[in-house]
Chains A and B, each alone.
Chain A
Amino acid sequence: MSLDNDKKPAIELVGIDKRFGAVHANRDINLTVAKGSIHGIIGENGAGKSTLMSILYGFYQADAGEIRISGAPVAIRDSQTAISAGIGMVHQHFMLVEDFTVLENVMLGAEGGQLLRRGVASARKELKRLETDYGLDVDPDALIEELPVGSQQRVEILKALYRGAEILILDEPTGVLTPAEADHLFRILQVLRDQGKTIILITHKLREIMAITDTVSVMRRGEMVATRKTKETTVEELAELMVGRRVLLRVEKGEANPGAPLLSVRNLTVKDGRGVTMVDDVSFDVHAGEIVGIAGVAGNGQSELLEAIAGIRKPFSGDILIDGKPVAGVDPARLRALGLAHIPEDRHHMGLVLKFEEYENSILGYHRDPRYGRGGLLDLDAIRKDAEEKIAKYDIRPPNPRLKTANFSGGNQQKIVVAREIERDPKMLLVGQPTRGVDIGAIEFIHRRIVEMRDAGKAVLLVSVELDEIRALSDRILVMFAGKVVGEKTPDAGEQTLGLMMAGIAA
């Protein structure tokens, strides 16, 4: 490779334009990414970030515009051409075969010849090299399903590198990671950059942008509105560039006014499908008018606790009381009737049916409600009108209740769920990872709604792996470790203290 070639930017996008019907997802985008740099892309939900990357990766075709790799124009027709042009992509939803080993997954589609044996041996060697070069430590013989999310993501990165990726695209990679896993990822990315790889990172967390990128570009409503050297900008400036107005980065909330306990959990034990105890003898109350946050590293029983209260998982023993009435084991439909709303942690799995149109999802769980029909029939006009109102109130984009839910951007999908659950005016609200994949403007909005719920005298139980979010919203914080509640703190407890408790070190 000549020196001259090295100076050429890794990627140049010139005049990229893309429409989906009425939605103009990318408008005349120009972007230059320097070789050997980490380039951040930020922007509101639906700004067109994923679309742009999908065009670069050959998943969509641009309506107009040119892609240049190392200065040479390339027509990227599909992901195959993208891979041979040296582009690798780590998807937010991993594309791994669950019951294959790491090695098998990495080789998949690049087996090299008809006989597997030779391929396996050389793949193992190559994997070893990649691991030592980049600090990507995963056991090549581990089964994917047994690996924590962070390691699964590393496998995705290995996969891309194994195929010779020089340019790595990561679309919201930290959404599913614990803080420690995210730190690990960033160390890897830095090593990759130092070895000359080029990295494009999409994220909603400005902290991450500031910590790791060299350059950052901002998209708004399909346009590329600014590019800054990370060193020369601030979180405040970026937020304003993104949203087009000043954003409140902290939640404004007054004192809590707790009333009687609405939701009580007594000696609750929950086991998973294999009989492993996930929630171990947990007891607490959530009072009317307060937000109780459950802090903890992902996988310490918070998800199972939330699902047990929501009626999705049968408790093994113990009681759950709503207004003093025992409801353990009662099905979700009855719980909804009792005034329990639930924003689930995993919107793709539970909160939404992605193949449904937006308006159909706006009644999921409430489809038996009299306002949505008469007798056994659904009143589609009423449902669509209702959906349109929520779309307007929550600024869901594009404002089209007939659009398939899968075609909304991630953050807008989350808003569909939040709107549905909060607009029911429930008495109790269970909230799991409410702002995963949501832009800062929408985070501000959702946080404000949650605080409003509290101020209106609702009982709110919040589970989040974002410690910042827990501390910003909660009136009381319960820390979970290994299925047990190991302590209760007020939100002014230091990050350090909470961190130690979450690690099971101090109580």
Chain B
Amino acid sequence: MSTASVPLPGWISYGVIPLINLVIAFFFSGLVVWLIGENPFEALKYLIDGALGRGDAIGFTLFYATSFIFTGLSVAVAFHAGLFNIGAEGQAYVGGLGAALVALALDRYVPWYVTMPFAVIGAAVFGAAWAFIPAWLQAKRGSHIVITTIMFNFIGAALMVYLLVHVLIVPGKMAPETRTFLPGGQLPKLDWLMAIFGLKLGPAPFNVSFIIALVMCFLVWLLIWRTRFGYEMRTLGISPSAAVYAGIPYVRTVIIAMLISGGLAGMMSLNAVMGASARLQVEFVGGAGFVGIAVSLMGRSHPVGIILAALLFGILYQGGGDLSFEMPNITRDMIVVIQGLVILFAGALEYMLRPVMVRIYQQFAGRKSASQKLAGT
């Protein structure tokens, strides 16, 4: 038997335990850094400095975090319906096509804020479309969604390379990418937001998609915990047999949940394609879809948790880049190792400390209620 069903107050489950996990992860990362002969404290200083030290550093951190929020939400929505969507990477990639087509079509004629809603829809529809086939296969044929979404990542990548090399490429150019969008097809930077805090954004591509991401966080929260469909998704995700009993249609629920999930992943492209590079390029997703899995796991599939986890990974991404620049011994691969440790301790091993915490808490709470009793008599 375990202590799994012993209730712990929220501030321990969602505050203390993740924090301790993070400290452990950093401790082991420090150990690795120390083993390769660098000073872990200095490394940490470079990491933090590189991620949060200057205005543009923060801008880059938030830019990465924006992408991770989208993909994190994507994974979380599917997860609530009991589906493990590994395909956010491919859905974001194909979503980029939707965003780019809208931007290419409208950027000449209208300002960005007119283009934006259409681009959001375009990115979401294309991302959703890429999730539809695996969803349909799962719902109708029972093909496991983990396998099919992985396959669709590869197919999506091949498709996008083909389109960029043969169809969307600017004639006469070498680079497999679309033409640069005019300002009417770009999402403006949020330098005014940074200015409020007295920071200068500099070259960092932190842009309006961040606000879209926050809106999506709210909408996802609303969807999961305040709508009938969210209720159906959660029922199916926790207890498929209860869902059958309740008359919740499996096929419809699976497909809609995956469409929403794919749509959210697709929106990640707004940030990279329309916010940063102003053109569609090969491999612009850069692993954000996979990071989304970790972000969702760490954030317990809750939008607030996802925002926090996305910020953490944004810091690791941005700060890690700086760190490997300052300490050449610590290569990019080392940064991946550190990220892996964070995922391991804060995500996969999230329950490792639970029994210990339960014991400490029970002793503490026991003493408290005993003393209350004494005071009462």
A residues contacting B by CB (< 8 A) are 17, 19-21, 57-64, 77-79, 95, 310-312, 331-336, 342, 344, 349-356, 360, 363-365, 367-368, 373, 376-378, 380, 404, 406-407
- Cβ contact within 8 Å between A61 and B362: yes
Residues in B whose Cβ lies below 8 Å from that of A64: 366, 370, 373
**When chains A and B are docked, how far (Å) is the Cα of A54 from the Cα of B369?**
19
B245-271 CB contact bits vs A (8 Å, 1 = yes)?
111110000000000000000000000
- Cβ contact within 8 Å between B228 and A355: no
- Cβ contact within 8 Å between B232 and A406: no
- Cβ contact within 8 Å between B228 and A350: no
- Cβ contact within 8 Å between A356 and B238: yes
Q: List 13 A-B contacts (CB under 8 A).
A: A17-B369, A17-B373, A19-B369, A60-B6, A63-B369, A63-B370, A312-B245, A334-B247, A349-B242, A351-B242, A365-B245, A365-B246, A378-B231
**When chains A and B are docked, how far (Å) is the Cα of A465 from the Cα of B227?**
39
B171-199 CB contact bits vs A (8 Å, 1 = yes)?
00000000000000000000000000000
Residues in A whose Cβ lies below 8 Å from that of B238: 353, 355-356
Known: A333-B247, A353-B242, A404-B7. A59 touches B363 (CB 8 A): no
- Cβ contact within 8 Å between A365 and B247: yes
Most A Cβ at <10 Å: residue of B3, B5, B228, B245: B245
Q: Which of B1-17 contact A (CB under 8 A)?
A: 1, 3, 5-7
- Cβ contact within 8 Å between B247 and A332: yes
- Cβ contact within 8 Å between B242 and A79: no
Q: Is B239 interfacial (CB-CB < 8 Å)?
A: yes
Q: Which residue of A lies closest to B9 (CB)?
A: A21
Most B Cβ at <10 Å: residue of A62, A335, A344, A377: A377
Known: A79-B1, A336-B247, A350-B244. A376 touches B235 (CB 8 A): no
Per the CB 8 Å criterion, the residue count for chain B at the interface is 32
Main secondary structure of the interface of A (DSSP, over half): loop
- Cβ contact within 8 Å between B7 and A407: yes
Q: Which residue of B lies closest to A365 (CB)?
A: B246
Report the minimal beta-carbon distance from B305 to chain A, rounded to whole angstroms: 17
Report the minimal beta-carbon distance from A15 to chain B, rounded to whole angstroms: 11
Residues in A whose Cβ lies below 8 Å from that of B234: 353, 356
- Cβ contact within 8 Å between B244 and A380: no
Report the minimal beta-carbon distance from A418 to chain B, rounded to whole angstroms: 15
Known: A360-B231, A373-B228, A380-B226. A367 touches B242 (CB 8 A): no
Q: Is B229 interfacial (CB-CB < 8 Å)?
A: yes
**When chains A and B are docked, how far (Å) is the Cα of A373 from the Cα of B235?**
17
- Cβ contact within 8 Å between A63 and B242: no
Known: A64-B366, A352-B242. A331 touches B247 (CB 8 A): yes
Q: Which residue of A lies closest to B231 (CB)?
A: A367
**When chains A and B are docked, how far (Å) is the Cα of A61 from the Cα of B358?**
10
Residues in B whose Cβ lies below 8 Å from that of A60: 6, 362
Q: Which of B321-374 contact A (CB under 8 A)?
A: 359, 362-363, 365-366, 369-370, 373
- Cβ contact within 8 Å between B241 and A20: no
Report the minimal beta-carbon distance from B2 to chain A, rounded to whole angstroms: 9
Residues in B whose Cβ lies below 8 Å from that of A336: 247
- Cβ contact within 8 Å between A367 and B362: no
**When chains A and B are docked, how far (Å) is the Cα of A462 from the Cα of B118?**
57
- Cβ contact within 8 Å between B228 and A378: yes
Q: How many A-B residue pairs have CB under 8 A?
A: 100
**When chains A and B are docked, how far (Å) is the Cα of A280 from the Cα of B154?**
50
B39-74 CB contact bits vs A (8 Å, 1 = yes)?
000000000000000000000000000000000000
Known: A376-B229, A378-B226. A332 touches B366 (CB 8 A): no
Report the minimal beta-carbon distance from B233 to chain A, rounded to whole angstroms: 11
Residues in B whose Cβ lies below 8 Å from that of A312: 244-245
**When chains A and B are docked, how far (Å) is the Cα of A25 from the Cα of B373?**
15
Report the minimal beta-carbon distance from B307 to chain A, rounded to whole angstroms: 23
Q: Which residue of A lies closest to B242 (CB)?
A: A353
**When chains A and B are docked, how far (Å) is the Cα of A17 from the Cα of B366?**
9
- Cβ contact within 8 Å between A332 and B5: no
**When chains A and B are docked, how far (Å) is the Cα of A349 from the Cα of B243?**
10
Residues in A whose Cβ lies below 8 Å from that of B248: 333
Q: Which residue of A lies closest to B355 (CB)?
A: A78
Report the minimal beta-carbon distance from B91 to chain A, rounded to whole angstroms: 24
Residues in B whose Cβ lies below 8 Å from that of A332: 244-247
**When chains A and B are docked, how far (Å) is the Cα of A299 from the Cα of B363?**
46
**When chains A and B are docked, how far (Å) is the Cα of A342 from the Cα of B247?**
12
New A-B contacts (13) at CB < 8 Å, excluding given A335-B247, A367-B232, A407-B7: A17-B369, A17-B373, A21-B7, A78-B1, A78-B3, A312-B244, A331-B249, A333-B246, A350-B241, A355-B239, A356-B235, A373-B228, A380-B226
Report the minimal beta-carbon distance from A231 to chain B, rounded to whole angstroms: 35
Most A Cβ at <10 Å: residue of B5, B242, B362: B242
Q: Which residue of A lies closest to B361 (CB)?
A: A61
B83-107 CB contact bits vs A (8 Å, 1 = yes)?
0000000000000000000000000
**When chains A and B are docked, how far (Å) is the Cα of A17 from the Cα of B377?**
15
**When chains A and B are docked, how far (Å) is the Cα of A220 from the Cα of B43?**
61
Residues in B whose Cβ lies below 8 Å from that of A377: 222, 226-228
- Cβ contact within 8 Å between B1 and A364: no
- Cβ contact within 8 Å between A378 and B242: no
**When chains A and B are docked, how far (Å) is the Cα of A351 from the Cα of B366?**
34
**When chains A and B are docked, how far (Å) is the Cα of A17 from the Cα of B368?**
13
Most A Cβ at <10 Å: residue of B227, B229, B247, B366: B247
Report the minimal beta-carbon distance from A17 to chain B, rounded to whole angstroms: 8
Q: Which of B130-168 contact A (CB under 8 A)?
A: none
Known: A61-B363, A333-B247. A406 touches B5 (CB 8 A): yes
- Cβ contact within 8 Å between B366 and A311: no
- Cβ contact within 8 Å between A368 and B369: no
Most B Cβ at <10 Å: residue of A335, A342, A350: A350
Residues in A whose Cβ lies below 8 Å from that of B232: 367
A-B pairs, top 3 by smallest CB distance, nearest first, are A333-B247, A332-B247, A350-B245
Residues in A whose Cβ lies below 8 Å from that of B365: 63
Residues in A whose Cβ lies below 8 Å from that of B239: 349, 353-355
Report the minimal beta-carbon distance from A322 to chain B, rounded to whole angstroms: 15
Q: Which residue of B lies closest to A79 (CB)?
A: B1
**When chains A and B are docked, how far (Å) is the Cα of A74 from the Cα of B37?**
50
**When chains A and B are docked, how far (Å) is the Cα of A476 from the Cα of B228?**
40
**When chains A and B are docked, how far (Å) is the Cα of A283 from the Cα of B365?**
59
Report the minimal beta-carbon distance from A370 to chain B, rounded to whole angstroms: 11
Report the minimal beta-carbon distance from A473 to chain B, rounded to whole angstroms: 23
Known: A331-B249, A360-B231. A61 touches B242 (CB 8 A): no
Residues in B whose Cβ lies below 8 Å from that of A62: 366
Q: Which residue of A lies closest to B239 (CB)?
A: A353
- Cβ contact within 8 Å between A63 and B366: yes
**When chains A and B are docked, how far (Å) is the Cα of A365 from the Cα of B239?**
13
Residues in B whose Cβ lies below 8 Å from that of A378: 226-228, 231
Residues in B whose Cβ lies below 8 Å from that of A355: 238-239
